[in-house]
C-alpha cells in the first residue's frame, strides 16, 4: 500500500492548516462590459435579493474567470517533470475545511484570497496531466481550447439529451457522427451515434441493445432461464477485456457464469480459431452466446483484437459484434495506424472514448451503431414529461430515448469545436507522435539488459519489468509493485502497473506530446535508483 506524504509541498505555501496564508490573486486585463440597452430593463435599487445579484453578477463572473485562467495558464506553462503529489487525505480534508467560510446564516461576502487558495489547491493536488512526468493513465491532458469550451458548457448549462435544451450540441453530435464514420466505413444515413458518460456506460448500453435484440421478451418479462433455441443467454469476451463488460453482464442479469472468456495468443489478442472452438464448447454447455465483445486497444497492454476475423465469426454464429474501442478507436483518424482496426465496419456497435486519445475533457464517449434501428432497442419506456409521442424535425434529434442518461452534459462540444477550428490533422499528428514514442521506448528497453519489455506496443501503451541481476523469479512480482508504489509516493513520475499472467509489470501510457525519449531514459534511471534502494534495504 502506498503511504501518502504528510509533508506534501502542496501545503508548504500555506503554512499550517490552522493559519492559512493565501496566495496573491491573479491580476489580468478586464474586458469592457457590454453597454446597457433599453431592452435590459430598469436598474432596481436595493432588494432582499441583492446577495443573489452579487453572486450572479456578470462582472463578478468575468473576474472569477480571469482568476481561474491565471491559475490554469501557470499550470500549462510549467514544463517541469512532476507526476503526482500524493497528499495524506486527512491533511487535505483539514486544509479544504479551513478554506470554507464560517458564515452559515447569510450569503458570505466574496473573498478573493479564498477563491485563489481553493483554485491553487485544486490545480496542485492530483495527477499533473500536462507534465512530462505523467505516464500513468489513459486520460490525457486536454487541448486547452477544449477546456475553454467545456467551461462555456458548464456556464450555459444546456443538457444535450433533447434538442430543445441543447440545440447546437444536438446538431454537433450528428455532424461528428458523419465525420467519424468516414473512418469507420458504414453507409451514410444508415447508422447512429450517441454520446454517453464513459465507455463503461457505452458498453452496458450496447450489450443491452444486443440482449434485447436476441431476446425480445427480456425487457418486459425478465430474464429467461433459457433463451430462444434452449440456450442460456451468454456473452463472449477476450480474456483481457475491460472489467466494465463483466459488470454489464451482471447488471443485465446474464451472470458471470455465462461469460465465455476467449483465449489469447502470445500477442494478447483473441485467437479466432481457438475462439471458434471455445464458442462451440459453450454451445455444448447449453449457452446461447448472443454477443461477442472484441477490444480495440485493451486497457492492460493496448492490444487490438483481429476485428476482421472476429467479425466473420460473429456473422457465422449469428452474434452481435461489439467493439470496445474506448482507447484505440481514435487510431482510425490516423492514416498510418488505421489498419489496427481493420474490419471495424463489421461491428454492430462501437464504444469510442474521445476523452482518451482525442484529448478532450472527460467524459466524452461516442457509442456507434451500424444499424440505426438497433440504437432504439436498448431502452423501452414512456415518459410524457420528456418524450414526445409525435416526432417533428426538432425531436428527431433527441437522443434521450437512446441514452441511459436523461440529463447529459453537452460533451460533444469540446470535440466538435476542435474539429471545426483545427481539423482532423490535429488528432492524427498527436496520436502518431504518441504511438511512435511508445515504439521508441520499446527500442530503448530492448537495449537495456536489466529491463524486460513484456510486449511490442500496438499503440501508446507499453508494459515492462525491471529485472536487475540477482533478482529471483519469486521476487519479480513484489519488486515491480514496490517500485511503482515508491515512484508514485515520491511524485516525480506517475506510472501504473498491471498483472500479466499473474506477474506484475510496470506500465506507461504515453498521452503527452511533450514527453521525449530523454524523459523515458530519465524514468528508467529513476526506476533503477528506486530498485537499488529497495534491494539494499532488503539485504
Residue 238 phi/psi, 5° resolution?
-70, 150
CB-based burial, 384-414: b 16+ in 10 Å, e otherwise: eeeeeeeeeeebebbbbbbbbbeebbbbbbb
Task: Return the pLDDT at 216.
Answer: 86
Q: How does residue 230 score in pLDDT terms, banded at 50, 70 and 90?
A: low
Q: Across all residues in the chain, what is the average pLDDT?
A: 88
Q: What is the pLDDT of residues 285-340, one digit of tens each?
A: 999 999 999 999 999 999 999 999 999 999 999 999 999 999 999 999 999 999 99
Q: What is the pLDDT of residues 123-163, one digit of tens each?
A: 999 889 999 999 999 988 899 999 999 999 999 998 888 88
What's the total number of domains in the chain? Answer: 3
Q: What's the rounded mean pLDDT across residues 79-101?
A: 93
Alpha carbon distances (Å) from 511 to 190, 328, 432:
34, 12, 11
Q: How does residue 22 score in pLDDT terms, banded at 50, 70 and 90?
A: very low
Task: Return the pLDDT at 43.
Answer: 53
**373 and 448 housed in the same domain:** no
Q: Which grid cell is 387?
A: 418524450
Q: Is residue 249 part of a domain?
A: yes
**337 and 471 housed in the same domain:** no
Q: Is residue 227 part of a domain?
A: yes
Q: What is the pLDDT of residues 59-68, one digit of tens each?
A: 999 999 999 9
Task: Return the pLDDT at 374.
Answer: 93
Q: Is residue 285 part of a domain?
A: yes
Alpha carbon distances (Å) from 357 to 271, 328, 364, 486, 506:
26, 8, 11, 28, 21
Q: How does residue 32 score in pLDDT terms, banded at 50, 70 and 90?
A: very low
Task: Return the pLDDT at 140.
Answer: 87
Under 8 Å between Cβ of 147 and 72: yes
Q: Which grid cell is 202?
A: 457505452
Q: Classify burial at 288, counting beta carbons within 10 Å of its beta carbon; exposed 0-12, middle 13-18, buried 19 or more.
A: buried
Task: Return the pLDDT at 38.
Answer: 56
Asked which of 383, 409, 435 is the last residue of a domain, the reply is: 383
Q: What is the pLDDT of residues 248-293, one digit of tens each?
A: 888 888 888 899 999 999 999 999 999 999 999 999 999 999 999 9
For residues 144 and 142, what is the distance between their CA atoms, to the nearest angstrom?
A: 6
For residues 508 and 441, what is the distance between their CA atoms, to the nearest angstrom?
A: 10
Q: Is residue 147 part of a domain?
A: no
Task: Return the pLDDT at 28.
Answer: 43
Q: How does residue 407 score in pLDDT terms, banded at 50, 70 and 90?
A: confident
CA atoms within 13 A on the CB side of 486: 17
Q: Is residue 42 part of a domain?
A: no
Radius of gyration of the chain (CA): 26
Q: What is the pLDDT of residues 441-492, one digit of tens each?
A: 999 999 999 999 999 999 999 999 999 998 999 999 999 999 999 999 999 9
Dihedral sign for Cα atoms in the order 450, 456, 458, 464: negative
Look up cell 451500424; give the residue. Answer: 370
DSSP 421-444: HH-THHHHHHHHHHHHHHHHHHHH
**365 and 445 housed in the same domain:** no
Dihedral over alpha carbons 104, 106, 112, 113 (to 10 degrees) = -20
**121 and 256 housed in the same domain:** no
Task: Return the pLDDT at 211.
Answer: 92
For residues 155 and 409, what is the distance between their CA atoms, to the nearest angstrom?
A: 12
Q: What's the rounded mean pLDDT across residues 502-516?
A: 96
Q: How does residue 219 score in pLDDT terms, banded at 50, 70 and 90?
A: confident
**198 and 313 housed in the same domain:** yes
**180 and 60 housed in the same domain:** no
**Host domain of residue 207:** 166-383
**Helix or strand or coil: residue 389?**
coil
Give the other-Cβ count within 10 Å of 103's Cβ. 9
pTM over 0.85? The answer is yes
Residue 471 phi/psi, 5° resolution?
-75, 120
Q: Is residue 408 part of a domain?
A: no
Task: Return the pLDDT at 85.
Answer: 86
CATH label of the domain that carries residue 373 = 3.40.640.10
Q: Is residue 44 part of a domain?
A: no
Q: Which grid cell is 213?
A: 435484440
Asked which of 383, 413, 443 is the last residue of a domain, the reply is: 383
Task: Return the pLDDT at 26.
Answer: 40
Least confident of 171-185, 198-212, 240-254, 472-486: 240-254
Those residues with Cβ within 8 angstroms of residue 514's Cβ, 6 or more apart along the chain or in another chain: 79, 130, 131, 132
Q: How does residue 30 score in pLDDT terms, banded at 50, 70 and 90?
A: very low
Say which residue, 505 or 220, is predicted with more confidence.
505
Task: Return the pLDDT at 6.
Answer: 45
**193 and 244 housed in the same domain:** yes
**185 and 83 housed in the same domain:** no
**185 and 315 housed in the same domain:** yes
For residues 489 and 5, what is the distance between their CA atoms, to the nearest angstrom?
A: 7
Percentage above 70 pLDDT, the chain: 88
Task: Return the pLDDT at 80.
Answer: 93
**472 and 364 housed in the same domain:** no
Asked which of 327, 355, 383 is the last residue of a domain, the reply is: 383
For residues 534 and 479, what is the distance between their CA atoms, to the nearest angstrom?
A: 8
Task: Return the pLDDT at 397.
Answer: 76
Give the other-Cβ count within 10 Å of 538's Cβ. 10
Q: Is the pLDDT of residue 34 over 80?
A: no
Task: Return the pLDDT at 377.
Answer: 86
Residue 281 phi/psi, 5° resolution?
-65, -40
**72 and 179 housed in the same domain:** no
Give the other-Cβ count within 10 Å of 35's Cβ. 6
In the chain, what is the straight-line distance between the N-terminal and C-terminal CA atoms, in Å?
Answer: 21
Q: How does residue 48 score in pLDDT terms, banded at 50, 70 and 90?
A: low
The conformation of residue 270, written as its DSSP 8-state character, comes to B
- Angle at CA of residue 344, ends 343 and 347, nearest 5°: 110
Q: Is residue 145 part of a domain?
A: no
DSSP 274-316: HHHHHHHHHHHTTEEEEEEEEEBS-TTT--B--HHHHHHHHHH
CA atoms within 13 A on the CB side of 177: 25
**122 and 171 housed in the same domain:** no
Residues shown for the chain: 539
Amino acid at each position: 500500500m502506498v503511504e501518502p506524504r504528510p509533508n506534501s509541498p502542496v501545503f508548504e505555501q500555506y503554512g499550517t492548516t490552522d493559519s492559512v496564508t493565501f496566495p496573491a490573486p491573479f491580476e489580468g486585463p478586464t474586458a469592457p462590459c457590454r453597454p446597457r440597452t433599453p431592452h435590459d430593463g430598469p436598474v432596481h435599487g436595493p432588494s432582499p435579493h441583492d446577495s443573489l445579484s452579487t453572486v450572479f453578477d456578470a462582472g463578478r463572473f468575468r473576474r472569477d474567470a480571469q482568476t481561474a485562467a491565471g491559475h490554469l495558464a501557470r499550470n500549462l506553462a510549467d514544463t517541469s517533470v512532476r507526476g503526482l503529489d500524493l497528499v495524506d487525505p486527512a491533511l487535505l480534508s483539514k486544509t479544504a475545511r479551513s478554506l470554507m467560510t464560517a458564515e452559515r446564516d447569510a450569503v458570505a461576502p466574496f473573498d478573493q484570497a479564498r477563491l485563489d487558495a481553493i483554485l491553487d489547491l485544486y490545480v496542485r493536488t492530483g495527477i499533473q496531466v500536462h507534465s512530462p512526468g505523467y505516464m500513468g493513465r489513459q486520460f490525457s491532458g486536454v487541448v486547452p481550447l477544449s477546456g475553454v469550451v467545456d467551461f462555456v458548457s458548464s456556464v450555459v448549462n444546456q443538457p444535450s439529451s433533447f434538442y430543445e435544451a441543447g440545440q447546437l450540441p444536438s446538431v454537433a453530435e450528428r455532424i461528428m457522427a458523419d465525420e467519424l464514420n468516414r473512418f469507420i466505413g458504414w453507409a451514410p444515413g444508415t447508422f447512429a451515434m450517441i454520446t454517453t458518460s464513459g465507455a463503461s456506460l457505452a458498453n452496458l448500453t450496447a450489450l443491452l441493445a444486443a440482449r434485447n435484440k436476441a431476446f425480445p421478451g427480456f425487457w418486459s418479462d425478465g430474464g429467461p432461464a433459457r433463451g430462444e433455441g434452449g440456450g442460456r443467454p451468454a456473452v463472449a469476451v477476450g480474456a483481457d477485456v475491460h472489467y466494465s463488460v463483466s459488470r454489464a453482464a451482471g447488471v443485465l442479469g446474464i451472470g458471470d457464469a455465462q461469460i465465455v472468456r476467449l483465449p489469447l495468443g502470445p500477442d494478447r489478442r483473441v485467437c479466432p480459431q481457438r475462439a471458434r472452438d471455445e464458442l462451440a464448447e459453450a454451445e455444448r454447455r447449453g449457452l446461447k452466446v448472443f454477443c461477442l465483445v472484441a477490444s480495440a486497444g485493451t486497457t492492460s497492454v493496448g492490444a487490438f483484437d483481429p476485428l476482421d476475423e472476429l467479425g466473420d465469426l460473429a456473422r457465422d454464429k449469428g452474434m452481435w459484434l461489439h467493439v470496445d474501442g474506448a482507447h484505440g478507436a481514435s487510431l482510425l483518424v490516423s492514416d498510418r495506424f488505421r489498419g489496427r482496426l481493420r474490419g471495424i465496419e463489421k461491428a454492430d456497435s462501437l464504444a469510442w472514448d474521445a476523452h482518451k486519445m482525442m484529448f478532450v475533457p472527460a467524459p466524452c464517449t461516442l457509442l456507434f451503431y451500424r444499424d440505426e434501428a438497433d440504437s432504439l432497442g436498448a431502452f423501452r419506456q414512456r415518459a410524457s414529461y420528456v418524450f414526445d409521442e409525435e416526432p417533428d424535425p426538432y425531436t428527431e434529434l433527441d437522443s434521450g430515448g437512446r441514452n441511459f442518461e436523461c440529463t447529459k452534459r453537452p460533451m460533444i462540444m469540446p470535440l466538435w469545436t476542435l474539429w471545426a477550428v483545427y481539423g482532423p490533422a490535429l488528432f492524427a499528428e498527436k496520436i502518431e507522435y504518441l504511438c511512435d514514442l511508445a515504439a521508441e521506448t520499446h527500442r530503448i528497453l530492448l537495449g537495456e539488459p536489466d529491463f524486460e519489455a513484456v510486449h511490442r506496443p500496438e499503440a501508446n501503451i507499453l508494459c515492462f519489468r525491471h529485472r536487475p541481476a540477482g533478482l529471483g523469479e519469486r521476487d519479480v512480482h513484489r519488486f515491480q509493485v514496490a517500485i511503482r508504489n515508491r515512484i508514485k509516493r515520491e511524485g516525480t513520475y506517475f506510472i501504473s502497473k498491471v498483472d500479466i499472467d499473474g506477474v506484475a509489470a510496470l506500465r506507461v501510457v504515453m498521452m503527452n506530446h511533450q514527453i521525449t525519449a530523454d524523459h523515458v531514459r530519465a524514468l528508467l534511471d529513476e526506476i533503477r535508483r528506486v530498485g537499488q534502494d529497495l534491494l539494499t534495504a532488503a539485504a
